[in-house]
Amino acid sequence: MFKNRQIGDTGLEVSELGFGAASLGNLYKAISDNEAQETLDAAKASGINLYDTAPRYGLGLSERRLGDALRTLPKSDYVISTKVGRILTPDHKANVKELRYGFDTPMPFDSHYDYTYDGIMRSFEDSLQRLGLAQIDILLVHDIGVDTHGEQDPYYYQQLASSGYKALDELRSQGVIKAVGLGVNETEICERVMGIGQFDCFLLAGRYSLLEQDALDTFYLNVSNTEHPLY
């Protein structure tokens, strides 16, 4: 069993070890629905209550499988986070027999970046439908930053700064969600968005581990010195 920790001042209590659901979207290879369910059953039995997914993961497949597994549980048993920044659209030409974006998924969709107010609101509503759940606890802005967008970073960053963050803050202020953050692969963008508004948490993929701890040099210090430390 795992200890729980609170995310900032959100009131959300999450297990110290969470479940990343990219594999439920058939990351690199397909798994069966039964295998996905059994994996989630094992995670729940171990005491994990934090489950993170994204529209990107299997082009909606991960969200569908995760929602199916959690739907019959009391809401108090789990905290769910998903991501915004991409919109899924039907693609009748999709070759579902080959890897797309690294996923062996049968879902006939494509994804498009959109960090605007309308794009984030649509992504949130679409995720509720795919999950088949009435509530999402945490929304993370997915893959914003130079690492993903290169020369187009200023364009997408401006979308988030000028209108996208407003959508996140609005949903949080209304109590529709409890926390907002980023789900990214670089520390620099986490530091940069602190000038946009108040973020409750950051999911830093693969950039802070036993083998890689460069994030401690600036990111941890900058976050710890803010008025509202993040945990």
Q: Please give the share of the chain, as a percent, with pLDDT higher than 90.
A: 85
Q: pLDDT confidence of 217, banded at 50, 70, 90?
A: confident
SS (H, E, C) 83-128: EECEEEEECCCCCCCCCECCECCCCCEEEEECCCHHHHHHHHHHHH
Give the DSSP H/E element, type plus range, for residue 44. helix 33-45
Q: pLDDT confidence of 1, banded at 50, 70, 90?
A: confident
Structure tokens at 186: 């670089």
Structure tokens at 153: 């970073």
Active site residue: 51, 52, 117, 156, which one?
52
**Residue type at position 37:** Q
* CB contact set of 124 (below 8 Å; sequence gap of 6+): 84, 136, 139, 167, 171, 177
Q: How far is CA 110 from the centre of its chain?
A: 18
Q: What is the mean pLDDT of residues 83-102?
A: 97
Q: How far apart are CA 52 and CA 175, in angstroms?
A: 19
Active site residue: 51, 78, 83, 104, which one?
83
Predicted confidence (pLDDT) at residue 220 exceeds the cutoff of 70: no
Predicted confidence (pLDDT) at residue 224 exceeds the cutoff of 60: no
Q: What is the pLDDT of residue 230?
A: 41
83 is catalytic: yes
Active site residue: 3, 9, 28, 57, which one?
57
Predicted confidence (pLDDT) at residue 8 exceeds the cutoff of 50: yes
Q: How far apart are CA 226 and CA 220, in angstroms?
A: 10
Predicted confidence (pLDDT) at residue 97 exceeds the cutoff of 60: yes
Q: What is the mean pLDDT of residues 98-118?
A: 98
DSSP one-letter string for 168-211: HHHHHHTTS-SEEEEEES-HHHHHHGGGTS---EEEETTSSSSS
Q: How far apart are CA 42 and CA 187, in angstroms?
A: 32
101 is catalytic: no
Q: In the CATH scheme, what is the code of domain 4-224?
A: 3.20.20.100
pLDDT tens digits along 203-216: 988 777 778 787 77
Q: pLDDT confidence of 138, banded at 50, 70, 90?
A: very high
